[in-house]
């Protein structure tokens, strides 16, 4: 079940109505847990066991960390959580990747290895909820968070359906306190939530899915398209990826808000970033901040030597890349971004603030960042390193192929969407729509849906981030 499907609307209507009709906080939490598990079971009920296992392990670890005073015992309990969660993630997501990579290395060394990869299904959302549960155990270990007493609360935190399968990655410290108090309908900002859901829907169903049709043509037949055509495909993939993921996040945040829960922002207009650091403060914020807090800083952050700091960048960004998928192309994506970050760090050391070069780079910073990020999506989208290399040669004008001829109408649509994005960024119409009386706003909102649905790309396209 995905947020743009008709059955989700029916599901949510029931979940929403019953949630607010229930009187006590406990009843509501039980209901949220039931609906969340039902939502997940709509994908594959067999993997519900993994969520339950993860929840029980971290609940136990939390309780035991609360009791243990000895540093060694605390470390041991943290290790239990790390092994259990990363073990699950490693088995279901990376087992075949590591076995396959190992076999290739042995092959390369002349030690023929048998291919014994397993046919393992990737449980939807495992990367998201694993990171959430890890954040809980680590924060309790660091004594930044009190262990939760209620198993129900932790289960709702892990399984909360709006963000269960594709984030945002919510921290326990943010979400668990919300469960202690009964949510009040009066506190729900209905109009912003409904607007956010509609924006998310437009991004996903209208923009991302339509852009996917052109991107898939180019990436489906690498090298067969002209340089300009490949750039166009890459551009469309950027639109697809951003609109798909940020659209999903918007809908997740809006859905949670309508149930009375606040989820953190996941995107903050990343295409207006002035540099690569700025980009990572705006793109998939919940993942980048998680990596910052639980990988980069524990590695030493920027406290050590310059070489050590850059090494930390590479480890952190490489793992961020690997988090997206079990393939070397994702690792390359991460390493490329680490290189960008390292270059930017060196630039900041070399170029003095207020100098002419600094003024120039401030001017071109945004387009430069956009192009650099676009190029980084070549490995991200490519099925293999070979395919990535073929596309890279075309993008860099080293090779040419056939001609891609997309419907020119879509350029108009995307220019329009870009303008709308800019208007939203500048909040130009915020006052106008915000100032409408509710009856007029309701009519406009209904009309906006009627104008949106004709642009839905027919043909089912699953959310990209579900793969991760």
Partner 1 sequence: MTPTVRTRERGRALSALLYAALVAVGFFGVSAAIRPLVPWPSEYGLRDKFEHFEEHCDEYDLLFLGSSRLWRSIIPPRFDEEMALRGVELRSFNFGVGGMRVWEMDYVLHRVLELQPKKLKWIVIEGGDWDPDFPSVQNTFASRSVFWHNLAETRKAIGASFTADEGLGERLRLALIHAQLFLWKTANYGQGRIIVRDVRGIRAGDFGREREEGYFVQDQGFQTQDTLVHPNFRRNLETYKHDVSGIDAANAAEVDLDHVYAGAIERQYEAAAELGIELICIIPPGIEGAPVRLRLHEEGVIPTLFDFNQPKLYPDLFRVQARFSPDHLNLNGARELTHVLAKTFSRHLRGVERD
Catalytic residues: 324
Query: Pattern 84-113, binding to partner 1, x per CB under 8 A?
Result: ------------------------------
User: Does position 220 bind partner 1 by CB under 8 A?
Assistant: no
Residue in 45, 53, 91, 185 binding partner 1, rule: CB under 8 A: 185
Number of neighbours of residue 460 by Cβ within 10 angstroms: 9
Mark residue 2 as left, alpha or beta (left: phi above 0; alpha: psi -120 to 50; beta: remaining): beta
Q: Binders of partner 1: how many residues, by CB under 8 A?
A: 22
User: Does position 402 bind partner 1 by CB under 8 A?
Assistant: no
User: Does position 434 bind partner 1 by CB under 8 A?
Assistant: no
DSSP state of 299: T
Quote the strand ranges of 388-429, DSSP E. none
- Residue among 52 and 413 whose Cβ is closer to partner 1: 413
Query: Pattern 5-24, binding to partner 1, x per CB under 8 A?
Result: -x------------------
User: Does position 453 bind partner 1 by CB under 8 A?
Assistant: yes
CB 160 within 8 A of CB 179: no
- Helices (H) and strands (E) counted in the chain, each on its own, are 21, 0
User: Does position 437 bind partner 1 by CB under 8 A?
Assistant: no
User: Does position 432 bind partner 1 by CB under 8 A?
Assistant: no
User: Does position 354 bind partner 1 by CB under 8 A?
Assistant: no
User: Does position 389 bind partner 1 by CB under 8 A?
Assistant: no
Q: What are phi and psi of 120, to 5 degrees?
A: -105, 130
Q: Compute CA 82 distance to the chain's CA centroid, rounded to the nearest angstrom.
A: 21
Q: Output the 3-class SS for 146-209.
A: CCCCCHHHHHHHHHCHHHHCCCCCCCHHHHHHHHHCCCCHHHCCHHHHHHHHHHHHHHHHHHHH
Q: Which stretch binds partner 1 (CB under 8 A): 37-45, 113-121, 375-383, 434-442?
A: 434-442
The residue with tokens 């590591």 is 98
- Residue among 433 and 455 whose Cβ is closer to partner 1: 455
User: Does position 405 bind partner 1 by CB under 8 A?
Assistant: no
User: Does position 457 bind partner 1 by CB under 8 A?
Assistant: yes
- Residue among 107 and 407 whose Cβ is closer to partner 1: 407
Rounded to whole angstroms, the Cα distance separating 450 from 344 reads 45
User: Does position 409 bind partner 1 by CB under 8 A?
Assistant: yes
Q: Which residues bind partner 1 (CB under 8 A)?
A: 6, 185, 407, 409, 438-439, 442-451, 453-458
């Amino acid at each position: 079940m995905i947020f743009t499907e008709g059955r989700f609307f029916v599901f949510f209507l029931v979940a929403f109505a019953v949630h607010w009709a229930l009187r006590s906080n406990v009843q509501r939490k039980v209901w949220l847990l039931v609906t969340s598990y039902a939502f997940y079971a709509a994908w594959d009920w067999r993997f519900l066991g993994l969520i339950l296992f993860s929840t029980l392990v971290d609940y136990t670890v939390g309780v035991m960390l609360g009791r243990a005073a000895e540093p060694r015992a605390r470390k041991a309990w943290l290790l239990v959580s790390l092994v259990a969660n990363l073990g699950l993630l490693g088995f279901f997501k990376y087992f075949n990747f590591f076995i396959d990579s190992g076999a290739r290395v042995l092959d390369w060394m002349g030690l023929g290895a048998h291919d014994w990869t397993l046919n393992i299904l990737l449980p939807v959302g495992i990367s998201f909820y694993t990171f959430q549960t890890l954040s809980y155990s680590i924060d309790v270990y660091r004594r930044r968070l009190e262990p939760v007493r209620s198993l129900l609360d932790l289960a709702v935190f892990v399984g909360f359906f709006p963000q269960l399968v594709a984030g945002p990655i919510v921290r326990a410290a943010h979400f668990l306190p919300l469960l202690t108090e009964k949510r009040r309908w009066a506190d729900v900002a209905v109009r912003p939530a409904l607007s956010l859901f509609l924006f998310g829907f437009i991004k996903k169903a209208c923009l991302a899915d339509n852009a996917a049709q052109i991107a898939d043509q180019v990436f489906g037949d690498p090298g067969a398209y002209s340089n300009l055509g490949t750039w166009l495909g890459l551009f469309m993939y950027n639109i697809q990826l951003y609109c798909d993921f940020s659209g999903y996040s918007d809908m997740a945040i809006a859905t949670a808000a309508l149930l009375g829960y606040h989820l953190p922002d996941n995107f903050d207009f990343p295409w207006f970033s002035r540099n690569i650091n700025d980009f990572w403060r705006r793109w998939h914020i919940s993942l980048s901040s998680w990596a910052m807090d639980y990988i980069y800083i524990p590695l030493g952050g920027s406290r050590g030597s310059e070489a050590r700091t850059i090494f930390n960048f590479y480890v952190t960004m490489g793992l961020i890349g690997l988090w997206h998928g079990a393939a070397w192309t994702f690792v390359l994506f991460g390493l490329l971004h680490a290189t960008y970050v390292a270059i930017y760090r060196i630039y900041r050391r070399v170029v003095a603030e207020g100098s002419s070069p600094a003024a120039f780079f401030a001017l071109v910073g945004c387009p430069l960042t956009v192009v650099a990020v676009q190029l980084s999506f070549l490995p991200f989208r490519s099925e293999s390193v070979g395919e990535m290399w073929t596309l890279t040669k075309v993008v860099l004008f080293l090779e040419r192929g056939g001609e891609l001829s997309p419907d020119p109408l879509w350029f108009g649509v995307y220019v329009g969407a870009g303008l709308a994005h800019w208007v939203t960024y500048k909040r130009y119409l915020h006052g106008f729509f915000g100032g409408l009386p509710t009856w007029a706003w309701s009519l406009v909102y209904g009309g906006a849906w009627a104008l949106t649905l004709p642009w839905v790309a027919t043909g089912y396209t699953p959310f990209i981030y579900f793969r991760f």
